[in-house]
């Protein structure tokens, strides 16, 4: 019995040791990828807007459309309505009309109004804001946002990163694809789970730069179809590339 317990203990220790070595190797890999991204794309400016509620609405409007169209829709919304209370109380058709250039106007208008009404229920007569996020730890702030109607991990992370300068890590389709090809997350990890894994893997001070630079890399080189591997500055770290090379040999 004691020998069996000793064997089990040894096996657990071996597994723990292997996991620690894997984590250490992955941490070192992230550091190398970060350095390559900065060498290639630089450190992007990080200028939080300070307006979390405005960022939330803008992020909703950006879904399934181009930056140009979503920015136009947001500008038209703010021009049409002087306050978020006015957006909340307007006939939904008027909100739809204001944001029509962003696409999916009915769905987005209804979602924005639901969120504003829910916030009003929570805040009473106070002006509509998301200032409550300033006092919350990062995980609690993410959970608060994800409890709002139609707000998922990516939207919540975008709001915190770009409006309040909090070190969240949004995972869009480019970040997800590039991270999988590099081997930072497994091939069966979905985008939602990737938020948690990458948040734990990437140091807070690197998250904004890695988010922006991975998107640029996904758009410019690591395309969903026909990625330009021969000119990729990350190929030395890329599992996808080396699997491709091995297949061709």
Helix 153-164 crosses helix 138-146 at what angle (to 10 degrees)? 130
- Is there a contact between 170 and 158 (Cβ–Cβ < 8 Å)? yes
- Our answer to whether residue 154 is catalytic in this structure is yes
C-alpha–C-alpha distance, residues 183 and 185, integer Å: 5
Per-residue buried b or exposed e for 176-188, using 16+ beta carbons within 10 Å of the residue's own CB: bbbbbbbbbbeee
Measured in degrees and rounded to the nearest 5, phi and psi for residue 70 equal: -70, -40
- Is there a contact between 19 and 187 (Cβ–Cβ < 8 Å)? no
Pull the structure tokens for residue 78. 């703010």
- Is there a contact between 96 and 113 (Cβ–Cβ < 8 Å)? no
C-alpha–C-alpha distance, residues 74 and 98, integer Å: 8
Q: DSSP H helical segments within the chain, as ranges?
A: 2-41, 52-62, 67-80, 84-89, 92-98, 105-123, 138-146, 153-164, 173-182, 191-201, 207-220, 239-248
Pull the structure tokens for residue 130. 């998301």
Determine which one of 9, 29, 154, 188 is catalytic: 154
Question: What value does the CA radius of gyration of the chain take, rounded to a whole number of Å?
Answer: 22
Q: Which residues are marked as active site? A: 154
């Amino acid at each position: 019995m004691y020998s069996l317990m000793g064997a089990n203990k040894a096996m657990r220790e071996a597994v723990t040791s292997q996991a620690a070595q894997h984590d250490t190797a992955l941490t070192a890999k992230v550091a190398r990828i970060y350095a390559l991204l900065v060498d290639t794309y630089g450190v992007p400016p990080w200028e939080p807007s300070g307006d979390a509620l405005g960022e939330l609405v803008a992020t909703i409007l950006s879904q399934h459309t181009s930056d140009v169209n979503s920015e136009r829709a947001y500008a038209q919304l703010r021009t049409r309505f002087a306050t978020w209370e006015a957006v909340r109380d307007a006939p939904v058709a008027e909100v739809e009309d204001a944001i029509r250039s962003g696409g999916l106007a009915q769905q987005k208008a209804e979602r924005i109004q639901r969120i504003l009404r829910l916030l009003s229920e929570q805040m009473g007569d106070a002006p509509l804001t998301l200032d409550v996020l300033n006092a919350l730890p990062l995980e609690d702030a993410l959970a608060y946002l994800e409890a709002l109607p139609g707000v998922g991990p990516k939207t919540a992370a975008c709001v915190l990163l770009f409006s309040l300068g909090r070190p969240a890590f949004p995972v869009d389709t480019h970040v997800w694809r590039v991270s999988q090809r590099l081997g930072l997350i497994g091939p069966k990890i979905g985008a939602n789970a990737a938020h948690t894994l990458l948040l734990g893997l990437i140091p807070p001070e690197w998250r904004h730069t890695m988010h922006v630079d991975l998107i640029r890399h996904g758009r410019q080189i690591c395309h969903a179809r026909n990625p330009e591997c021969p000119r990729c500055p990350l190929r030395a770290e890329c599992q996808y590339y080396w699997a491709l090379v091995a297949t061709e040999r």
